[in-house]
A and B are shown apart, each in its own frame.
Chain A
Amino acid sequence: MNVLGVETSCDETSVSIVRDGNVVLANEVLSQIDIHKVYGGVVPEIASREHIKGITYVFDQAMKKANLNFEDIDLIAVTKGPGLIGSLLIGINAAKVISLNYGIPIIGVHHISGHIYANYIEQGMEFPILALVVSGGHTELILMKEHYDFTKLGETQDDAVGEAYDKIARVLGLEYPGGPVVDRLAGGGEDNLDFPRPMINSNDFNFSFSGLKSHVINTHHNMKQRNEKINIDDFCASFQEAVTDVLVKKTIQAKNKYKVKQVIVAGGVAANSGLRKKMKAKITDIPVYFPKMQYCTDNAAMIAAAGYFQYKKNGESDDLYINGYSRLDLE
């Protein structure tokens, strides 16, 4: 079954063709990251304008790469949320036109289920699975007892991890997006600033990062006031250690409680080298999977993979009234 994936929920315009959930025939991504960089974050109106500029071009590239015609597509899977509403609507309407033009069924996919299914492309799945979803918009632990069955165990009470990274980077005068830069500099620094690990001992699977973020910002501010020498690398290392300690500890607790067979780390922050290293060092009894770098950040291959299983599970598609949602629950 050839699934055409369409993803425009944030700042990447992406189209993919994936066969049977894991054979990636094409995965084209038009990234806007350089455009938003100067603003220190994604500007929604600019993101929408870029999506509409690139939309037909990305379809064209993907079809050529896959060497297929639209007539060869069996199902269209498009991200319906959560995300930037103006951006989502461009992908959704483009997908609807294809559906109407060729009579191909269409299915709306949750963005986070896409991030989770990014792992299926490389690794397959053995249930039950615990997924830690970490990105600019999400920090959640999700239990899957079977395909396309999601139970949220806990989530962030305030900032998402990726968001905290971006804010810290801004305070430290580093470029946007903050994740990759802080991660890189952390490698050359030392965890010597004694930052807090919020909620690390709470008896649930929730997270909180705004307190840690404020603590880092205040520490930086006070050191500056006192004219102390600030080692940016140490700031990055101390922050990253604090964040990853919390993420790893909660993941281990959930893993043990639900006796899962695999741990999946998904979302943009899954690209973080500190998190990868610590997770793999601390969890040795079962496999811990991280998607390949190109499937960590937003891409349509993961949406096509998720859409395939969503369709297989429910056996039904959506109609042409399908809409986009800026907020959307996974369960």
Chain B
Amino acid sequence: MKKSLKRLAIDTATKYIYLALMIDDKEVSSIYQEGDNNHSVTIIPLLAELLKNAEISLQDLDEIIVGVGPGSYTGVRIGVTVGKMIGYLNNINIYQVSSLALLASTSKQKYILPLIDARRNNAFMAFFNQKKRKLTYLKNDTLENIESFKSNIIEKYEVIEFGKPNLKKIIDSNLMVKIEDIHNLTPNYLRITEAERNLK
């Protein structure tokens, strides 16, 4: 009998915690819930619950998929820390995916603009085209003024700010990047820190 492929996906770049367990091509269990700015407290208990329901342990996993942002700096670091540790401890393949791509995967529209607010009229955004349930980037992940980003798009699009990701679509769209050396996995902040900017 062929061994099944067990994959765990994690994303905490928005105010929602997203955890999903896929066995072969089927999502068997998932959690998408508001974290109340408390991802750090709840993510591991939620993960424990998810695994328990599916009757597997972290050591049974074959692959891990981590949303690396862009998004809330503190938020995204929680998910990346957890994913990085699981990958490291169990010596399994780890894939990173844009948190904006995960957002885009929730939409059924042809043109999709995922958006994570970054205050002062700025946001983390990207622009996608969807054909036959396959997503392709038209504009890469960026952090800029919301109005100016939108003003450069002529197509009619849907803005997505939250929603439970469609992991199957992400996998089928080849939007994941394999990390060769687990120690190198870090969030995609899209911006250097204020201290570094002031230094220049």
Contacts and interface: CB of A to CB of B under 8 A. Distances in A.
Interface of A: 38-39, 43, 45-46, 48-49, 52-53, 55-57, 59-60, 70, 85-86, 89-90, 92-94, 96-102, 319-324
B48 A98 contact: no
B82 A97 contact: yes
A59 B88 contact: yes
Interface string B63-105: 0000000000110011011101110111000000000000000
B199 A39 contact: yes
Contacts of B58: 97, 100-101
A89 B78 contact: yes
B93 to A, nearest CB: 15
Contact of A86 (B77, B82, B182): B77
A49 B193 CA distance: 10
A299 to B, nearest CB: 20
Contacts of A93: 40, 43-44, 78, 81-82, 85
Closest CB pairs A-B (n = 8): A97-B85, A56-B88, A96-B44, A43-B195, A45-B193, A320-B44, A89-B40, A101-B58
A100 B59 contact: no
B42 interface: yes
B82 A56 contact: no
Interface in B151-200: 182-183, 186-187, 189, 193-196, 199
Given A48-B77, A56-B85, A102-B89, 6 more contacts: A45-B194, A52-B187, A56-B182, A86-B77, A96-B82, A320-B48
Q: Is the interface of B mostly helix, strand, loop or mixed?
A: helix
Contacts of B199: 38-39
B116 interface: no
Contact of A89 (B42, B77, B88): B77
Contacts of A39: 195, 199
A78 to B, nearest CB: 12
Interface residues of B, number: 35
A108 to B, nearest CB: 12
Contact of B89 (A86, A90, A98, A324): A98
Given A46-B195, A55-B81, A97 B89 contact: yes
B1 interface: no
8 contacts: A55-B81, A70-B89, A86-B77, A89-B40, A93-B78, A94-B81, A100-B47, A100-B48
B193 A53 contact: no
A101 B86 contact: yes
A53 B44 CA distance: 20
A55 B78 CA distance: 12
Given A49-B186, A49-B189, A101 B89 contact: yes
A46 B193 CA distance: 7
Given A43-B193, A92-B40, A48 B74 contact: yes
B44 A100 contact: yes
Contacts of A60: 88, 183
B183 A57 contact: yes
A89 to B, nearest CB: 5
Nearest to B46: A320
